[in-house]
Amino acid sequence: MADGFDIIDTSDLIPEAVQPYLGYLSSGGGEIYVHESGHDSFNDDTAARGEPVHPFNTTQPSELPSEIFRTPFISDIFLPDFSIAPFSLGQAFSRDAPPEPEPRFPVSQRMKADLISNYIRETATWCETTDSDMHFSARSVHCMMESTPFVAAAMSLASRQLDTLRGRPRQITLELYQYTVRLLLSHDPTVDGASILATCTLLCAYEMMASTVAEWRRHLQGCAGLLRMRKWNGNSLGIVKTCFWAFARIDVWAAFILNQTTLIPTDSWVEEDSLAVVAARGNTDDYCNFAILIFARIINLLNASNGSSSTEMRQKAQASWKELQQWRRWRQQSVKPLMRVDGETKGPFPMIVFALFASICGNTFLSRWLDSSTAEWHDPVWHAREHGGISISNPSHANWVNHLQPLYIAGRVFGPSSKAPRPTQHQSSGRIHAPIQGSPSSTNESADDEDRMAELAEFPAEKMALLKHLAKIERETGWKTSDRARELRILWGLEN
C-alpha cells in the first residue's frame, strides 16, 4: 500500500472537459454584451443579429479568448459608483420613465427547444434535491415558462452545462447570461416575484458551477434580498419553497467554508421551529430540510461574533448536538438508508443506498456533524468514509452537485495531520492511532522524510476513489470539480 502512489496515472483522475469559466474579470472595465435592438418578439424563430456593445466582432468565434467567457460583476459594470449586490432587481427600473425596449432574444426557437430540453432533463433537477414535487422541472415549469427572465436563465444554465461537457465555450452562453441579467435589471421587483426568485436561483447555480466560493456567494445576496422583501421562507408554498431550500443549501456551505454566518438568520427560516412537530407530520422533504437548518444553526453558532459568553456558547452547542442526534433517532423509514454494506474488498467506502433524493441530502448534513456515545461517531475518518459512500452509492446528479463541498471536506480528513483543518486519526491494520506529529526542525531530515512518507501512505484507496469520483462528477454533470481535486492532490503530496 505504501508504494501505491508511485504508479498513479493522475491523468485518469482529471476530467477531460476543458474548464472555460475560470472566474471574473478583475477590473470593472468590461462591458455587458447585449443587443440594442428594440425587437421584443420572444418567439421569433431567427437568431438576433444586432451589433454588440462588447467588441466581440473583432475576433472570429473559433478564436475567442477564454477571458471573454469570464462573467463580470454586474455592479462593476452598470453602476460602478454604487455598492450593490449582483442581480439587484429593478436597478434600471423607473416608474416615472417609459419602459426600455426588451433586448432581442438571442437564439432561434430550435436552439431554445434544445436548451430547454436539456434544462428539464438535467440542470433543473439540481435545485430539486429536497423537492419531491419537482417544481423546477415539472410541477411549476409551465407557469415559469411564461416568464422571459426565467426562460433565459434556464437556457443560460443549460448552455453552460453543455459547454463544459463538450469541452468548449460558446459565445451564445455568455449572451444568454447577459440577456437574463439585463432583463432583471429593468424588471419591476414587485411583479412576478416567484418567477424572478426562481430566475435568480438558476443564476446562482450558473455562477456556482465554476466560480470561487467568495464570488458565487455574492450572487446569493440577490436571492436573500428578494426572500426578505417578500417575507418568504422554508414554509412558503410551491416553487418559492424549493427556491428557498436551494438557496439555503448553497448559503450554508459558503458560510461553512468562509467561516461566516448565513445571509438569512436561521430564526426566520421556518414558521414551526420544532423538530418534534416536523417529525410528526411525516413529510420527508420537510424533515430532511430540517437537517439543513440544524447544520446552519451550528455554522452560525461557530462563526458568530455577538459577544456571547463561553458558558452560553457551550449551552447552545450542546443543544444543537442533542437536536442533531434526535434528528437521527426520529427518522422515518423513508429517510433511513434502504441498504448498507460496509466497505470491504470492493472499495474503501461503504455502500449506503437511499430511495429518495431528499434522504440523500438530509443524511449528508447529518453525517457531517453527528455526535454520539459510540466511538465511531467521534472518528472524523468514519464520517469522511460515510460521505464518500453516500455520494458514490447514489448516482444522482442532483445530489452530486450538492456533494462537492462535503466531499472536499472529507478529502481533507484523509490528508497529513500537519495540514488537515482539524485533528485527523490514522488507520493501520484496522486500528485507530493518534495522529503522526510533525518533527521538530532540529530532528534529522531522514526522520522528516519518513514521517512524510508515512502520512502519504495513509488511506491510499480512499484518496484514489475520491479523486476518481470527483472526476466522474465533472464529466457527467459539467460541474467543476478539478480545482478542488487539485487542492486535495497538493494536500496529499501527489502534486506540487
| pLDDT for residue 266 is more than 90 | yes
In Å, the largest CA–CA distance within the chain is: 78
Domain presence at residue 441: no
- pLDDT at residue 82 greater than cutoff 70: no
**Backbone dihedral region of 134: left (phi > 0), alpha (psi from -120 to 50 degrees) or beta?**
left
Model confidence band, residue 216 (pLDDT cutoffs 50, 70, 90): confident
351 bridge partner residues: 341
* Neighbour-count burial of 265, counting CB atoms closer than 10 A to its CB (0-12 exposed, 13-18 middle, 19+ buried): exposed
**Residue among 423, 418, 425, 394 nearest 407 (CA):** 394
pLDDT above 70 for 197: yes
Q: Which helix (H) or strand (E) holds 368?
A: helix 357-369
How far out from the chain centre does Cα 377 lie? 26
- Answer whether residue 350 is part of any domain: no
Residue 276 has pLDDT above 80, yes or no: yes
Q: 212 is in which domain, residue-wise?
A: 20-259
Alpha-carbon distance of 272 to 363, in angstroms, equals 21
pLDDT of res. 378? 64
> What pLDDT sits at residue 50?
38
Task: Report residue 51's pLDDT band, with 50, 70 and 90 as the boundaries.
Answer: very low
Q: Which amino acid is at 257?
A: I
Quick check: is 48 in a domain?
Answer: yes
Quick check: helix, strand or coil at residue 236?
Answer: coil
pLDDT recorded at residue 94: 45
17-38: buried (b, 16+ CB within 10 Å) or exposed (e) per residue? Answer: bebbbeebeeeeebebbbbeee
**Which pLDDT value is given to residue 45?**
40
166 within a domain of the structure (yes/no): yes
Provide the residue type at 75 as one letter.
S
Beta-carbon contacts of 278 under 8 Å, excluding residues fewer than 6 positions away, are: 272, 286, 287, 290
Residue 343 CA to residue 345 CA, distance in Å, equals 7
**Assigned domain for 450 exists:** no
Q: Is residue 222 in some structural domain?
A: yes
Answer whether residue 78 is part of any domain.
Answer: yes
| Domain annotation covers residue 398 | no
Q: What percent of the chain has pLDDT over 70?
A: 67
Per-residue model confidence (pLDDT) at position 416: 80
Question: What's the rounded mean pLDDT across residues 3-16?
Answer: 42
pLDDT tens digits, 393-412: 999 999 999 888 889 989 99
161 has pLDDT over 80: yes
User: Is 14:482 a contact under the CB 8 Å cutoff?
Assistant: yes
Q: Which of 53-62, 186-195, 286-295 has the lowest mean pLDDT?
A: 53-62
DSSP H helical segments within 51-108, as ranges? Answer: 74-78
pLDDT band at 91 (very low <50, low <70, confident <90, very high): very low
Best-predicted range by mean pLDDT (11-20, 322-331, 448-457): 322-331
The structural domain count of the chain equals 1
Residue with grid cell 432561434, as numbered in its chain: 108
pTM of the model: 0.74
Least confident of 75-89, 276-290, 357-371: 75-89
